[in-house]
Chain A
Amino acid sequence: MKNTAELSLYVPEPSGRPGDEPDFSNVPLQDAGEQRCPDTLTPEIELRDMPYGLVRVLDDDGKAVGPWAPDLSTDHLMRGLDAMVRTRIFDDRMFRANRQGKTSFYMKSTGEEAIGAAQSLCLGERDMCFPTYRILSWLMARDYPMTALGNQIFSNAEDPLKGRQLPVLYSARDYGFYSISGNLGSRLGHAVGWAMASAYRHDDSIALGYVGEGTTAEGNVHEALTFAGVYRAPVILCITNNQWAISSFSGIAGGNRTTFAAKALAYGIPGLRVDGNDFLAIHAATNWARERALGNKGATLIELVTYRAAAHSSSDDPTRYRPKGESEAWPLGDPVERLKQHLIQRGDLTEDGYTDLHEDCEKRVRAAIREAEAVGTLGQSKPSVKAMFEEVFKEPDWRQIEQRRELGY
């Protein structure tokens, strides 16, 4: 007998549980500026080392270094910072509104604000993103009215989705933001289909789809990657690896011995692993993938390495499954702080300037939420019950008409 042992079932466990010290020594990192930046039309076969590195631009001093450093205007960076700050303030206020019973549910994106903001500002007006429920900063960066967000969260009479959807499952076609649904991963294939349609029509718009690292275990993610690879769809498929899927750590999703970016390898598409708390790196990597897609070279997979700083949702308590202080110990820091630091380092922002920006953001968020609250919060106001029966089909069939009348509308 050679090379045999008693079989035992291996169940991955995170590096720390409540009461333990946070430990991220298992997360492979690379210093800012170290990862190479190949030409966007490089054949996939020459890119196979990329998924194991880490594209980072901002160093510890907030300086943009290395070949990925993008040439972005101050105005552009300030728009990003504004979107991220408003996202964080809005999240905090809405989380509180949930605790006050003004809405049934909320999900924060704390710590992940750079992702939606950078990608939203990087992509074109006609590109379409297929978001998860944690990409609010996309809408903030495109100046989606915050009052409308509030109305949706409160399911009030002005709710753009007519009270049909759970809070945060937005839809905003004019802002390049596809309708969110509660079932995980099922829109990644839509992003691929959208991109295939664009290619079919010889259009110049692309699609960008998101899943969290937990969702990569769903079959529909494999389906989407297969189709993206087979048809060379002009799509960017993003995995926001925030280390946690509710209470299960990324190892349970299959991230223990490889990277999520490396999933790209077997589908024949490039995979980039990117610092998800680095606005500039996200911007640069997304632009790289977009150029490649518009060069008709097909899809790119991007793993955005970040950390879910807040609870999974308003119904979750992370102190029950992960160490206290993990968020502070996260080696890639805080995305808002890092972009702020960069702008200060560039000489484009001062501490006082940032305080002003923050106050201004707070004022705008407060005003918007107040306006939404004035329409009504959950249970105080709602759209016409008629709307419940509309848009099941383009035209209602006899069932919706009869049942609406039965209810007295």
Chain B
Amino acid sequence: MVAMNMVQALNSALDVKLEDDPDILTFGEDVGYFGGVFRVTDKLQEKYGLTRCFDTPISEGGIVATAIGMGAYGLRPVVEIQFADYILPAFDQLVSEAARLRYRSNGEFWAPITVRVPYGGGIFGGQTHSQSPEALFAHVVGLKSVIPSNPYDAKGLLISAIEDDDPVIFFEPKRLYNGLFEGRPDDPVKPWKDHPLADVPEDVYRIPLGKARMVREGADVTVLAYGTMVHVALSAIEECGIDAELIDLRSIVPLDIDAIVESVQRTGRCVIAHEASRYGGFGGELSALVQERCFHHLRAPIERVAGWDTPYPHAFEWDYFPGPQRVIDAMQRTQEV
């Protein structure tokens, strides 16, 4: 075990898989020689050579298209889109091709690709370095979407994603890359090294896709979160003293529906928290699922804490970002009914 931040854990996942399987290669913009703008692919080209880890033209559609072709051939490409905000030029490739290739060819062809995308706000990234587009992909049948919230999960989930035979979009909360963030911009950044989930094994281990993590058990309300919002929610729970149960979904597709239903049926209350804007966000799907499956157990309306229905702004970073106080308010509303 070594203390790793999320960048190092992701780098380690790529390192062990590149070592393990010659069919794995990784590419993207600035991924090769430079090691990635966030250092996730640092030193991989040096260690594994030019053809295992290389730079691409600035062409998200081209990156994903060639990855799909390689995947159909029999390789397992892991590609990077520099920011989730820039995944949209590859949207047709992901929706019309990667997601449907197995289905439409009756299993003759498939694309075991992993698409790594730094996502999320809280970094003064403005409109095109902050977005959380996971709901766009949740609506696409045939794609899996994974979102880690800590270094240990990041490595274990990325290894599972790479080994998975279906296309996986791997959203990396860039706000959590180098340290813990609880949604309190005035607090000093907490380094990962003091966190128990920063103890990361150096060799291969896996965290299954579709399995949520119980972050904190509680009796009064179930809080569903993923990515950075897991830490925001935990901090909110600790501050307000409500005995909330916090579940880190870890993957959006496949979703650990059993863990969600089991918890809400026990607590009778549910708060959903995500950074993405609210209308049409993944919280809507979660809310509908909880309502359908826990209706007779619910003792309060389901609450959604989300980004506002505006583009992600620059100057209003902390007015926009759903910080701990908004999570506290929502939890309290569920207790008042």
Query: Which residues does A use to contact B, with CB under 8 Å?
Result: 128, 130, 160-162, 164-165, 169, 171-173, 178-179, 181-183, 186-198, 200-201, 207, 219-220, 223-224, 226-227, 230, 391-394, 397-398
Contact = CB atoms under 8 A, between A and B. Distances in A.
B110 A394 contact: yes
Identify the 4 closest CB pairs spanning chains A and B, nearest first: A193-B69, A189-B65, A193-B66, A223-B62
Contacts of B101: 179
Contacts of A128: 73
Contact of B97 (A160, A190, A192, A230): A190
Interface string B101-122: 1111111111000000000000
B142 A393 contact: yes
A378 B97 CA distance: 26
B69 to A, nearest CB: 2
B69 A197 contact: yes
Nearest to A383: B106
B93 A197 contact: no
A161 B142 CA distance: 17
Q: Which of A160, A183, A188 has the most CB of B within 10 A?
A: A183
A392 B142 contact: yes
Interface in B155-186: 165-166
A182 B97 CA distance: 10
Given A173-B105, A394-B166, A397-B210, A183 B92 contact: yes
A391 B107 contact: yes
Q: Which of A178, A179, A194, A398 has the most CB of B within 10 A?
A: A179
Contact of A397 (B62, B67, B97, B253): B253
Given A165-B104, A186-B93, A197-B74, A219 B65 contact: no
Contacts of B68: 189-190, 193
Nearest to A209: B69
Q: Which of A169, A219, A397 has the most CB of B within 10 A?
A: A397
Contact of B104 (A171, A172, A193, A393): A171
Contacts of A198: 73
Contacts of B100: 181
B201 interface: no
Q: How large is the interface on B (under 10, 10 to 19, 20 to 34, 35 or more residues)?
A: 35 or more
Nearest to A162: B106
6 contacts: A173-B105, A189-B68, A193-B69, A197-B69, A223-B61, A393-B254
B335 interface: no
B102 A393 contact: yes
Contact of B72 (A172, A178, A397): A178
Contacts of A190: 65-66, 68-69, 72, 97
Contacts of A188: 65
Contacts of B77: 193
Interface in B283-317: none
A291 B41 CA distance: 36
A192 B106 contact: no
Q: Which of B69, B70, B75, B103 has the most CB of A within 10 A?
A: B69
A37 B57 CA distance: 32
Contact of A191 (B57, B69, B105, B142): B69
B73 A169 contact: no
Contact of B70 (A197, A219, A224): A197
A393 B65 contact: no
A193 to B, nearest CB: 2
Q: Which of A173, A193, A197 has the most CB of B within 10 A?
A: A193
B51 interface: yes
Q: Which of A161, A173, A189, A220 has the most CB of B within 10 A?
A: A189
